[in-house]
């Protein structure tokens, strides 16, 4: 299970578009902590912490700097600029002991399918699935053995083995992976086309006679 990483934050008093822009120029990124029975807390995160925050989306973090005790939270939303480069706001969701949460986790395929050894192609159609579990028991990833997949076999979300206490939220018939047959080479397609019987030529007799009369 993923362990909570420590993230340094500080209380934030400024809000509004222009004030937040000044805050970013000073090396801080605004955020908010919400959820649980407590009031939301406006926070600011040092720019040096942002990359770690961005990598922890939907993962457990321990917010340090808001009191004597760290606040255990999930990184729920990381907003970036229109170019997708800079983080401009972060939402943290406070975790209550014993609370179950819904998160997305990556699906990792392991092994070489039998169908691939027979010349097929493995397609990883869905890379993440949604699950429900205790906030403190979020798996880093779900590993699935695909070595048994043969040509034309399909692996569905319902086929993923889940740790104890974890429930699948994604629809069970969502395709995770499949082994497809290789497309025929261009030379094979041309050979098949040449081997196919040609259609008989149709002579438009009436049209020919009319042309000769003219």
Cβ neighbors of 42 (< 8 A, separation 6 or more) are: 11, 12, 13, 15, 30, 31, 32
136 touches 73 (CB < 8 A): no
- Name the average pLDDT for the chain: 85
Give the least confident one: 85-94, 107-116, 150-159, 195-204: 195-204
Instruction: Give the tens place of pLDDT for each residue, 61-70.
Output: 899 988 888 9
Q: What are phi and psi of 135, to 5 degrees?
A: -60, -30
Overall pTM surpassing 0.75 (yes/no): no
Local confidence band at 93 (pLDDT 50, 70, 90 cut-offs): very high
User: And the tokens for 212?
Assistant: 């000769």
Instruction: Give the tens place of pLDDT for each residue, 157-192.
Output: 999 999 999 999 999 999 999 999 987 765 555 655
Local confidence band at 99 (pLDDT 50, 70, 90 cut-offs): confident
SS3 187: helix
19 touches 28 (CB < 8 A): no
Local confidence band at 83 (pLDDT 50, 70, 90 cut-offs): confident
Backbone CA torsion sign across 20, 24, 27, 32: positive
Sketch out the chain's domains with CATH numbers: 5-95 (2.40.240.10), 101-186 (2.170.120.20)
């Amino acid at each position: 299970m993923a362990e909570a990483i420590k993230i340094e934050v500080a209380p934030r008093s400024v809000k509004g578009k222009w004030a937040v822009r000044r805050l970013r120029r000073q090396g801080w990124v605004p955020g908010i902590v919400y959820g649980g029975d407590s009031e939301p807390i406006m926070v600011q995160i040092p720019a040096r912490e942002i990359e770690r925050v961005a990598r922890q989306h939907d993962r457990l973090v321990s917010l340090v700097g808001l009191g004597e005790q760290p606040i255990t939270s999930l990184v729920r939303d990381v907003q970036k600029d229109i170019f997708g480069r800079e983080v401009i706001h972060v939402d943290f969701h406070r975790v209550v002991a014993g609370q179950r949460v819904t998160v997305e986790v990556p699906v990792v395929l392991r092994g070489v399918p039998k169908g691939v050894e027979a010349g097929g192609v493995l397609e990883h159609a869905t890379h993440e699935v949604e699950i429900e579990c205790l906030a403190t028991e979020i798996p880093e990833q779900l590993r699935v053995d695909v070595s048994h997949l043969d040509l034309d076999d399909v692996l569905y979300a319902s086929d993923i083995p889940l740790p104890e206490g974890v429930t699948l939220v994604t629809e069970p018939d969502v395709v995770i992976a499949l082994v497809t047959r290789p497309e025929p080479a261009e030379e094979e397609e041309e050979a098949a086309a040449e081997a196919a019987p040609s259609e008989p030529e149709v002579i438009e007799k009436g049209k020919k006679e009319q042309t000769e009369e003219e």
